[in-house]
Amino acid sequence: MKLLAAEHENSGRARRGWLYFGRKGLLSSHVMFEGGVSTAVAMNRIQVKFDRDLYEKIQSSGIRAVVEEESLRIAKLDLYDKFIKTGWTAGLAKTMKAVVVKRIPQLIAAAWLAAYLEAGYVVDLNTLELSQTQARHARKALKKTSK
């Protein structure tokens, strides 16, 4: 009888392990979802422009409120639930690249700028609208003038 009781105790542990690590388990599904997001980021060049409206929203409402708002907006897309139901599809990857992958760098840039200005530094916001080529030329010109 002791042998059966001990075996029964271990079956619960194995079942819980399967819920985490098994097919469509919590941890394995999360790792696969994050892997898909990482692939979307790694395989595509991220080209976004600075979002001045987002920056102004951070200035007026605070970073915490804006991050919560943006997180809820992304959560309402139900990307993870769609992934759990169907796996990675072309439509899901397209939505991920179009919305999430582009919005995160904009949010980070706006938050850093707000923190930079709050620390007392001065930034010319007009230079944030430069294209990559214009920014490269501006950096070269600054290097030449500083020598």
Give 32-50 pLDDT, tens digit per residue. Answer: 899 888 887 787 777 888 8
Task: Give the C-alpha separation, 19 to 21, whole Å.
Answer: 6
* Residue 4: pLDDT band with limits 50, 70, 90: very low
Residue 43, amino acid: M
* Residues in Cβ contact with 58 at an 8 Å cutoff, skipping those fewer than 6 apart: 66, 110, 111, 114
Give 110-122 pLDDT, tens digit per residue. Answer: 999 998 888 888 8
Kindly report the pTM of this predicted structure: 0.65
